[in-house]
Amino acid sequence: MDSQIERILKHSELSVTGGRKKILELFLHNPGALSHGDIEKRAGEKFDRVTVYRTLQIFLEKGIIHAIPTADNSILYALCKNDCSPIGHHDNHVHFICNFCGKMICLENVSIPELNLPPEFNATQVDVVISGICKECK
């Protein structure tokens, strides 16, 4: 696991620090998404809010994680796939958030539909978030 974490950080041209390793490890062990608060609680160490925030921001910029907006105006973060980069995120899939348990699931096999925008508009990011009841809560 440590070698995978170090490989991801070095590939993203980031220095390998204890905080970055710990936060990246949380994403690698969690198949869903995490909130800022989840990361603070699960880190186990005393990371201050600013350190977590800065780490999330640099991971977003480097294409390591992507942000998922929620209906209550909060943000969840999930690990990107291999084709994301600092130039852009390519996680073109739908996100599902359970209304009961709050779990977020990336629906990898459900693509975001193609949008036919007028020529004067250029989309840089499209987020599709579906809320409902997950299979465990059903």
Q: What is the DSSP letter of 73?
A: S
Burial of 36 (0-12, 13-18, 19+ CB in 10 A): middle
Can you point out the beta strands (E) in 1-138?
A: 34-35, 65-69, 75-79, 93-98, 104-111, 129-132
pLDDT of 129 higher than 60: yes
SS3 state at 19: helix
Confirm whether pTM is higher than 0.85.
no
Burial of 48 (0-12, 13-18, 19+ CB in 10 A): exposed
Q: Please, which pLDDT band fits residue 133 given cuts at 50, 70 and 90? A: very high
